[in-house]
Amino acid sequence: MAQSEPPPPYHHDLGGAARFRCTPIEPDDPPLSDFDRRVDALRALLRQKGLITTDEQRLAIESLPPEAYDGLTYYEKWLRAIVAVLLARGVIGWEDLA
């Protein structure tokens, strides 16, 4: 790997990413929606029950296609990640969600 150019960062690995250099940070913090709070609570429960770990969730979010990573809201990404982990573990099947 030494002689060639390093590969680009994964899409989620944002530290120093030049494409945000001129993007101002919106300092406001709008209240979370009911959906957001439900997803958050569901994730906490599933973690407590040993059905998802932080690192599995992180990997599932990192594995989202870049368009989804950029376009979905924070808790939409969490929901997608929870679904991906529960499907992979066989806790639920796709028929449950179709």
Partner 1 sequence: MPKPDPRPESIALLERLVAALAARGIVSEEEIAAKRAATERASPQIGARMVARAWIDPAFRALLLADGSRAASLFGADMRGQPPLGVLEDRPGLHHLVVCTLCSCYPRAVLGYPPAWYKSQAYRARAVRDPRRVLAEWGTVLPPDVQVRVVDSTAEYRWMVLPLRPAGTEGWEEAQLASLITAETLVGVRLPQPGPALPA
Partner 2 sequence: MTPRFAPGQRVRVRPVWPEALGRLHLRTPHYLRGQAGVIERCLGRFPNPEDLAFRRPAAERDLYHVLFDQRAIWPEAAPGDTLLVEIFEHWLEAADAQA
- Judge contact between 11 and 66, C-beta under 8 A: yes
Minimum Å distance from CB 77 to partner 1?
A: 9
Q: Which is nearer to partner 1, 1 or 38 (CB)?
A: 38
Which residues, 6 or more positions from 73, have their beta carbon under 8 angstroms from its beta carbon? 36
Buried b / exposed e over 67-76, threshold 16 CB at 10 Å, is eebeeeeebe
Minimum Å distance from CB 92 to partner 2?
A: 17
CA distance 84 to 50: 15
Assess 55 for contact with partner 2 (CB under 8 A): yes
Question: Closest by alpha carbon to 57, among 38, 73, 75, 71?
Answer: 75
What residue 56 binds from partner 2, partner 1, none (CB within 5 to 8 A, per partner kind)? partner 2
Q: Which is nearer to partner 2, 59 or 92 (CB)?
A: 59
Q: Which is nearer to partner 1, 5 or 34 (CB)?
A: 34
Instruction: Please give the residue ranges that form the binding site for partner 2 (CB under 8 A).
Output: 1-2, 6-10, 13, 15-16, 53, 55-56, 58-59, 62-63, 89
